[in-house]
Amino acid sequence: KIKLKHGSHREGKRTDAIMQKWRGNGLGQFIHWGLYAIPGGEWNGKQYNGAAEWIRSWNEMPKPAYDSLIYKFNPVNFNADQWAAIAKDMGARYVTITTKHHDGFCLWPSKYTSYTVANSPWKKDIMKPLVDAYDKAGIDVILYFSIMDWNHPGWRYDIKTRADSIAFEGFKKFTRNQLIELLTMYPKAKGLWFDGTWDKSWIKQAKFADELEAEMRKLRPGLIIGSRFRADEYGKRHFDSNNVLMGDYEQGWERKLPNTIADVHGNDWDCVMTIPENQWGYNKAWKGHIKTSTELIEMTAKAVSLGGNFVLNFGPKGDGSIRDQEKRLALEIGDWMKVNNEAIYNCGYSGLEKQDWGYSTKKTRIDKIYMVVFNIPVSGAYRVKLPAKTAIAKSYLLADQNQVLKVEEVHTNEYFVYANPASQSKPFVIVLETKKKERSGENNYDKAK
Ligand SMILES: COc1ccc([C@H]2[C@H](O)[C@H](O)[C@H](C)N2C)cc1
């Protein structure tokens, strides 16, 4: 092990109640909203091919033209309660909201810059109504914060000269001030989701970032901070030089999911996902494949089956309204979650071998296994292998618990569960209530008759 001053300060998963709640959330909502939603991926009649929230980096759009979008920010259709209701209907148990994206525009009236909602036609704080609305809906709030800030004169991609160093010192103070300000103004926030920390300038701030993280955790005990916030003194990110996770959960899964439990190294993690291929901020013209609710439900089940959370992104329009496709998907996912959320909430890795029919999840501390089915075997037999000395006490459809299912032990610790679900157009869940095996060789033929 390398001696580290600014590496990870904790090994293994956090066991406190705040983190256990986060771990059991299963499904979250991401909100990307800011000035970039006004052009919506288009400028002077031309489409920007990249992600809409990066339009400022597009040479076709002059930086001053982007920066003056602040004078157009007047979201007359913004309704925080409606956004929270959409998340609630979808079955999201937490939300991650952009307070400031890379462009530096602040959705809260920060004292440390004039580039905020306070100096827009809207004038009012956006974060407070959002935090209050989601909190009222029983949805935990995580604040997204981009360290990289294209609007701040002190930002540097790297520190090469003494002038850079002096400028960046001012930027570091500004960053600390804004983070303390956010935690002070929105004490209900459960955590911070950092972004924009990949440039050398920030990677070189191991000591500063370590001390800032400690200051934030002291100000807000239990605060949840991901692995992307800071690097160790050797520039290692997400995992320190001893390969120990930085922060409380791994933030590496972006628009992609781990495939096996080995990929998650025994850590907590979240996957953040876009509905179109790669648009976080509102883009008028979604190109390429737009994910269906069934695909998104499968990703949610897969994430939970591997011990993580699935966070689905919404990009509200410049006027503050939510686009129809997003509202429809939220309702379709919500319809499924209303029936099946027992297989998602407070569930995690089951330890069972992956089978073709789908993903298995397990309630933490309860002997219940959920088989979330996406592929129906023509045989009608759903194979499941249980650990030694574990047997199936009872099996039934989560959607219709009176439908007790026939179970057959076809080999030692290997069972076929027979199910012919009524509707096959949507994923469904088979529940296994397990028990200790009485004695070996006991057959289960007559169990379900
Ligand atoms: C350099 O490639 C990047 C950098 C940052 C991102 C940002 C997106 O704008 C969005 O905020 C996502 C969560 N984040 C990683 C995406 C691609």
- Encoded tokens for 108: 């809260």
Pocket test for ligand 1, best of 36, 280, 311, 314 (most atoms within 8 A of CB): 280
Is residue 332 a contact partner of residue 425, using CB atoms and an 8 Å limit?
no
Q: Is the CB of 280 under 6 A from ligand 1?
A: yes
Contact 103, 155 (CB under 8 A): no
Per-residue pLDDT of the chain (449 residues; tens, 9 = 90+): 999 999 999 999 999 999 999 999 999 999 999 999 999 999 999 999 999 999 999 999 999 999 999 999 999 999 999 999 999 999 999 999 999 999 999 999 999 999 999 999 999 999 999 999 999 999 999 999 999 999 999 999 999 999 999 999 999 999 999 999 999 999 999 999 999 999 999 999 999 999 999 999 999 999 999 999 999 999 999 999 999 999 999 999 999 999 999 999 999 999 999 999 999 999 999 999 999 999 999 999 999 999 999 999 999 999 999 999 999 999 999 999 999 999 999 999 999 999 999 999 999 889 999 999 999 999 999 999 999 999 999 999 999 999 899 999 999 999 999 998 766 789 999 999 999 988 755 554 444 43
**Count of CA atoms in the C-beta half-sphere (13 A) of 330:** 25
Residue 267: helix, strand or coil by DSSP? coil
Secondary element (H or E) of residue 173: helix 162-185
- Pairing of the two strands 358-363 and 368-373: antiparallel
Structure tokens at 22: 């986060």
217 DSSP 8-state letter = H
Contact yes or no for 238/250 (Cβ under 8 A): yes
**Maximum Cα interatomic distance, the chain, rounded to a whole number of Å:** 81
ipTM over 0.90: yes
Residue with the smallest CA separation from ligand 1 atom 9 is 53
CA 222–ligand 1 middle distance (angstroms): 26
d(C-alpha 330, C-alpha 281), whole Å: 17
CA-based nearest residue to 154, from 177, 183, 181 = 177
**Alpha carbon separation from 387 to 288, 360, 395, 417, 437 (Å, rounded):** 43, 14, 17, 16, 10
Could you tell me which residues are beta bridge partners of residue 30?
96, 313
Partners of 431 in the beta sheet? 370, 396
